[in-house]
Structure 1
């Protein structure tokens, strides 16, 4: 996919001196929350607080880095096993398990949506009862495994679908190897913006967000722009979840071209 020429990076996001050697990417998970609207699928987005170390002020999906406690194995699990996720994302099983756990944890921390249930075929419909645990997760006082174990909940990996894999360009001092997931908000639950990392949170059609970006009202990083463009081509949430995608690792480059910093993808035939 060719990125549009208007998609440039602020000078503040590009370091004056690139790190040498490049930083090692940290595993991370991003989750695209979906619901059906009157005119097609809608996505849940957050405008990140300005001044954050990574992507401050940008509009993005919920997500974050894998925590070392996301690798805890004692967890009730429903759906595709870590080996299946490892094959889809091209990583080891321990990393795959941690990525799925991070996706569930980050979705709960940042959006209040909990992909878990009291049985392998059930999902919680009201999450306010776990408000204290949500704050404890944010403060890293407990792990996701401890929370699920205490309340006898099963992690619903089957509610997630793999979507893409983006790696932060080598020029950046803070890098992530981010796996993107998609999921529908479970019936009875609602996404919220009760997180210290977001200045605002809202639902919108992908096409509307892209129009807002074109008018300069919001900032998008390339992975977000590409994901929104792909979702805009889908008629409903079912089509998104049923997409059989091949997950390739996308590692863009940053170049200075025509007076601005631009992200270049491997299939950009215009690259120098």
Structure 2
């Protein structure tokens, strides 16, 4: 996640993928898989190297590895045929020279996290949740963490058939039951309607 501190608050860089391939037309953060050339002493360091490399390859940004910090770790649902555990990092960018290739990435926007949430842009669940967290942070300095939450997604449906993604801390997480009353940490994610993230923990 590439962010910058603006006069009106924190802004985040969002990229729009092309209409071909996985996550077609989705708005995403810069990123990609770890390559053999991404070296490091452990998993986090290799993932950091990949994040720095992808920022340069996708949008031409040369970010400082020392200023690129682990933020969270995501594990997709077990039902997905292809699962890729993903580290999210956050880094600060002070320039304006974003460059996209016009093929894999066809557009970009600097936005406040809240504006992206309100616009209901087409995004994957980890992006949506991360935007909510960035909106709460309000500045790059406030995004620094000493512990990195690990999000393991459990999908289910409400009694009305609406898809719901549950995460640790939600009352229905262990039982995989969205109807259980209690704390909330979930995303209502209907295919044909607006999504809503609920968190009360």
The count of residues paired between Structure 1 and Structure 2 equals 173
Tell me which stretches of 4 or more aligned residues in structure 1 moved more than 3 Å: none
After superposition, the Cα gap between the structure-2 partners of 1:59 and 1:164, relative to the gap in structure 1 and judged at 3 Å, is same
Q: Which runs of 5+ in 1 are unaligned?
A: 1-31, 72-81, 83-92, 116-155
| Highest RCO, 1 vs 2 (Cα 8 Å, sep ≥ 6) | 1
Q: Distance in 2 between matches of 1:63 and 1:197?
A: 12
CA RMSD of aligned residues (A): 1.9
Alpha-carbon offset, residue 188 of structure 1: 4.4
**Does residue 1:68 correspond to 2:16, yes or no?**
no
Q: Say if 1:170 and 1:70 are closer, same or farther in 2 by CA, change over 3 A.
A: same
1:267 corresponds to 2:169 = yes
Cα separation, partners in 2 of 1:170 and 1:51, compared to 1, 3 Å: farther
Shift of 1:45: 0.1
CA contact (8 A) 1:44 1:191 kept: no
Distance 1:181 1:165, change over 3 A: same
Identify the residue that residue 199 of structure 1 maps to in structure 2: 106
TM (normalized to structure 1)? 0.58
State how far apart, in whole Å, the 1-side matches of 2:20 and 2:81 are. Answer: 16
Name which of 175, 187, 190 aligns with 2:97: 190
Q: Rg: which structure is higher?
A: 1
The answer as to 2:45 corresponding to 1:105 is: no
Using structure 2 for the length normalisation, give the TM-score: 0.77
Structure holding more helix per residue: 1
CA distance in 2, matches of 1:60, 1:188: 20
